[in-house]
Copies of this chain bind each other. A is one copy, B any other.
Amino acid sequence: MSTSIHLPTDPAVKAGNPYPKSDAPTPHSDVHIGGGDATTKTKSLDSGTTVKKQIEDLYKLIDGIETAMMTTRAPNGSLVSRAMQTRKRVHGVDLWFVTDNQSHKLDDLNFDPHVNIAYYRPSTSNWVSVSGRARIVNDRNKIKELWSDDLRAWFGDLQDGVHTGGPEDPRISLIFVEAESAHYQIQEKSAPRALFDIIKGSYTGERPHIGPTRELDAAALGAARKLEE
């Protein structure tokens, strides 16, 4: 984890683990599609690719996957998610979403602004995790800028001249997510080739050569914001 805030590791967190690190000299990937896990401590991170290329690849992924699962934290501590259309990606990987301002998720965001925006593409097994802070934005000009015709369908026209689903509809708010870190995995091999490697590995114990996880911290995302401005 490389976000803008670093807290010391709680020494108790590994207490329940009967296998101390010395027992696992070279821990490999976690068990999920695509291999390396951004959150495995001795992770197979991609260090041979420039930050610029890593950010370009991240943009390609996000721009190609319209729908994300947005996870918020409810006041009772539970984490809840729902599918959301990404309205716009801006500087770095800051993201805009449109919301009904009566949504429970706005209560969640007022309780805890931390969100996760997750993109997953089954056809390639590529995935993206954006960790950030959300802000509810009611700026009418910004709403007009991001509004489009399809919102009429989602909000519906209540025929009162006010709640029309149009850009002036008071129900429409925006959620701005300022990214603090991003993790993603992009496959370097075709899906059949990757599958071949996985099946082969299940016999030989040889790890499939699949794209490593990439991690962009607050500094990298900050640099990307400046590049775009």
> Interface size on A (CB < 8 Å)?
119
Stretch at the interface among A48-56, A69-77, A220-228: A69-77
How many copies of the chain does the oligomer comprise?
2
B28 near A100: Cβ-Cβ < 8 Å: yes
Known contacts A6-B76, A108-B39; is-contact A29 B154 (Cβ 8 Å): yes
Known contacts A24-B102, A170-B24; is-contact A67 B125 (Cβ 8 Å): yes
What is A's interface to B at a CB cutoff of 8 Å? 1, 3, 5-7, 9-10, 12-19, 21, 23-35, 37-42, 65-67, 69, 71-85, 97-108, 110-112, 114-116, 118, 120-122, 125, 127, 129, 131-132, 136, 138, 149-160, 162-165, 170-173, 180-181, 183, 185, 197-208
With A33-B85, A153-B197 already in contact, 10 other A-B pairs whose C-beta atoms are closer than 8 Å:
A6-B76, A16-B138, A23-B170, A28-B154, A67-B122, A71-B79, A78-B132, A78-B180, A120-B120, A157-B205
